[in-house]
Amino acid sequence: MTIAIYPGSFDPITNGHLDIIIRATKLFDRLIIGVYETPEKSLLFTTEERAELVRQSVTTLPNVEVRVFSGLTVDFAKELKAQTIVRGLRMSADFEREFDLAMMNKKLSPDIELVCLMSDLKYQFLSSSLLKEAARLGGNVNDLVPKHVAIALTRKVNRKM
Ligand code: ADP
For the chain, which residues make up each domain, given as ranges?
Answer: 3-160
- Mean pLDDT over 117-144 rounds to 94
The reply to whether 17 belongs to the active site is yes
- Mean pLDDT over 49-54 rounds to 98
The pLDDT of residue 133? 94
pLDDT of 41 over the 80 cut: no
Report d(CA 32, CA 82) in Å as an integer.
Answer: 9
pLDDT of 40 over the 80 cut: no
pTM of the entire predicted model: 0.95
Q: Is the beta carbon of 119 within 6 A of some atom in ligand 1?
A: yes
The alpha carbon of residue 133 and the mean position of all alpha carbons in its chain are separated, in whole angstroms, by: 18
Select from 3.30.230.10, 3.40.50.620, 3.30.1390.20, 2.60.120.10 the CATH code of 3-160: 3.40.50.620
Q: What is the pLDDT of residues 8-28, one digit of tens each?
A: 999 999 999 999 999 999 999
Burial status of residue 127 (CB atoms within 10 A of its CB: 0-12, 13-18, 19 or more) = middle
Report how far ligand 1's centroid is from the alpha carbon of 16 (Å): 8
Report d(CA 18, CA 44) in Å as an integer.
Answer: 19
Which pLDDT band, with edges at 50, 70 and 90, does 38 fall under? confident
The pLDDT of residue 161? 52
The pLDDT of residue 149? 98
The pLDDT of residue 156? 93
3-class DSSP state of 10? coil
111 vs 96: which has the higher pLDDT: 111
The pLDDT of residue 160? 62
Report how far ligand 1's centroid is from the alpha carbon of 1 (Å): 25
- Mean pLDDT over 97-126 rounds to 93
The pLDDT of residue 93? 73
Spatial CB neighbours of 1, under 8 Å, sequence gap ≥ 6: 29, 30
- Mean pLDDT over 84-88 rounds to 97
Report d(CA 102, CA 89) in Å as an integer.
Answer: 13
3-class DSSP state of 69? strand
Report d(CA 1, CA 115) in Å as an integer.
Answer: 17
User: Exactly one of 23, 90, 106, 136 is catalytic; which is it?
Assistant: 90
